């Protein structure tokens, strides 16, 4: 039975490295001011979504599609601000001076409320803010500016301006949610050095070992999964059969998905997920978008990871995965029925279980 899970993978797939963006380099080089370089470097080092960094970059390079910029590019004839209908809609106006954003900054951190400077452009404003705001405050500034810009566009299509207090609260929540998702990402990195023997998880965390078996002559596959605690005691185990596959990578991926569904269904929330196929383990942890035909399985697995409170992916050598291996092999004897054991040692893997505990 497939479990429906929430889609929370946008942070996983958006993690494209922009640290060495060629346009950034060009712009930084051509800009003689040290202020320019400082702005670029800080912007790209912030822990904010890349879409917000790109927005910040467009703001500071004056390529945001404001009315003034669109008139300059002869796209439209009128450069008046469509919100306040008073000033030209330049970038600095849209982000900092317009009546529609002044309330946002007035309700924001105190340092943003002091107006001792009337900046002529965004670079000057950034230089000013970077001397006064902390890194966290600057990150929040960019989220607020991004939300404010997006809501300007919504207003043009009939939407209304959000209460600035609500927008500011949303910006804070957005940043907190984003950073929490990043923490979860960092704990799902693969542990590279596989151990030759099974290692127990730390207390309060469980370890899920899984493995796949290919029964080519039967046109079927097997999946074995075992969840143990810090003392090596069995919490749950499974032997299940799977469909015919075209590669061992496919078998391993399907096995990983099946065992994670089993663990999530059984109520485990803190898991070290361990397998012995390093390619498969890395495919899941990689933040790159997986374009292979198995990409959807990888996506399912990432969604399952987000069902967990805490997760770490770990690679072990065959010797550390003997129990899961024995359970996967056993599936050939029960192709029509999946078998589950709760808090009980599964007989097909007793020997491997004893060996694991002996090494502790």
Q: What is the DSSP pairing of strand 310-315 with strand 339-342?
A: unpaired
Q: Kindly tell me which of 148 and 190 has the beta carbon lying closer to Zn ion.
A: 148
Q: Kindly tell me which of 87 and 250 has the beta carbon lying closer to Zn ion.
A: 87
Q: Kindly tell me which of 84 and 109 has the beta carbon lying closer to Zn ion.
A: 84
Short-list 145, 142, 147, 158, CA closest to 82: 158
Choose the binding region for Zn ion from 91-99, 180-188, 285-293, 323-331 (rule: CB under 5 A). Answer: 91-99
Choose the binding region for Zn ion from 6-14, 73-81, 103-111, 149-157 (rule: CB under 5 A). Answer: 73-81
Tell the residue number behind the tokens 């951190």, with chain if given.
Answer: 109
Among 60, 81, 235, 294, binds Zn ion (CB under 5 A): 81
Q: Kindly tell me which of 167 and 214 has the beta carbon lying closer to Zn ion.
A: 167
Q: Kindly tell me which of 68 and 308 has the beta carbon lying closer to Zn ion.
A: 68
Q: Are 223 and 332 in contact (CB under 8 A)?
A: no
Q: How far is the CB of 107 from Zn ion (least distance, A)?
A: 18
Tokens of 286: 């990689």
Short-list 150, 217, 186, 194, CA closest to 287: 186
Quote the crossing angle between the two packed helices 322-330 and 350-358, to the nearest 10°. Answer: 180
Q: By CB under 5 A, how many residues form the interface with Zn ion?
A: 4
10 Å Cβ neighbour count for 226?
Answer: 32
Among 24, 98, 251, 294, binds Zn ion (CB under 5 A): 98
Q: Kindly tell me which of 83 and 143 has the beta carbon lying closer to Zn ion.
A: 83
Q: Kindly tell me which of 152 and 303 has the beta carbon lying closer to Zn ion.
A: 152
Site string (296-335) toward Zn ion, x via CB under 5 A: ----------------------------------------
Q: How far is the CB of 170 from Zn ion (least distance, A)?
A: 21
Short-list 317, 320, 326, CA closest to 345: 326
Q: Does 185 participate in binding Zn ion (rule CB under 5 A)? A: no
- Residue 82 makes CB contacts below 8 A (sequence gap 6+) with 67, 89, 152, 155, 156
Report the C-alpha gap between 320 and 255 in whole angstroms.
Answer: 17
Report the C-alpha gap between 325 and 211 in whole angstroms.
Answer: 5
Q: Does 84 participate in binding Zn ion (rule CB under 5 A)? A: yes
Q: Does 104 participate in binding Zn ion (rule CB under 5 A)? A: no
Q: Does 213 participate in binding Zn ion (rule CB under 5 A)? A: no
Q: How far is the CB of 63 from Zn ion (least distance, A)?
A: 19
Q: Kindly tell me which of 84 and 335 has the beta carbon lying closer to Zn ion.
A: 84
Q: How far apart are the first and last CA of the chain?
A: 35
Q: Does 83 participate in binding Zn ion (rule CB under 5 A)? A: yes
Main-chain phi, psi angles of 224, to 5 degrees: -125, 135
Binding site for Zn ion (CB under 5 A): 81, 83-84, 98
């Amino acid at each position: 039975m497939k479990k429906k899970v929430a889609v929370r993978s946008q942070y996983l797939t958006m993690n494209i490295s922009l640290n060495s963006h060629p346009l950034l380099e060009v712009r930084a080089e051509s800009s003689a001011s040290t202020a320019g370089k400082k702005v670029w470097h800080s912007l790209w080092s912030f822990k904010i979504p890349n879409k917000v960094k790109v927005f910040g970059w467009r703001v500071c390079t004056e390529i945001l599609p404001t009315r003034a910029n669109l008139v300059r590019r002869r796209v439209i004839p009128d450069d008046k601000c469509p919100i306040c209908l008073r000033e030209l809609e330049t970038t600095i106006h849209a982000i900092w001076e317009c009546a529609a954003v002044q309330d946002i900054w007035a309700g924001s951190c105190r340092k943003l409320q002091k107006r001792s400077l009337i900046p002529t452009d965004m670079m000057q404003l950034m230089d000013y803010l970077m001397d006064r705001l902390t890194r966290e405050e600057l990150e929040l500034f960019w989220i607020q500016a991004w939300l404010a810009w997006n809501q300007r566009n919504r207003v043009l299509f009939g939407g209304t301006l959000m209460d600035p207090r609500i927008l500011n609260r949303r910006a804070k929540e957005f940043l907190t949610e984003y950073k929490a998702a990043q923490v979860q990402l960092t704990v799902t990195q693969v542990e590279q050095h596989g151990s030759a023997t099974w290692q127990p998880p730390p207390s309060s965390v469980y370890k899920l070992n899984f493995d796949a078996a290919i029964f080519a002559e039967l046109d079927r596959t097997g999946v074995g999964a075992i969840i143990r605690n810090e003392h090596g005691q069995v919490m749950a185990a499974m032997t299940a059969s799977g469909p015919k596959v075209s590669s061992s990578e496919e078998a391993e991926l399907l096995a990983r998905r099946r065992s994670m569904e089993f663990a999530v269904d059984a109520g485990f929330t803190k898991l070290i997920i361990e397998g012995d196929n390093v390619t498969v383990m890395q495919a899941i942890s990689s933040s790159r978008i997986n374009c292979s035909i198995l990409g959807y399985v990888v996506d399912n697995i990432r969604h399952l990871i987000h069902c967990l409170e805490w997760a770490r992916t770990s690679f072990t050598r065959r010797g550390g995965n003997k129990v899961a291996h024995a359970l996967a092999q056993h599936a050939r004897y029960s192709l029509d029925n999946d078998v589950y054991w709760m808090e009980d040692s599964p007989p097909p893997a007793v020997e491997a279980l004893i060996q694991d505990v002996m090494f502790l």
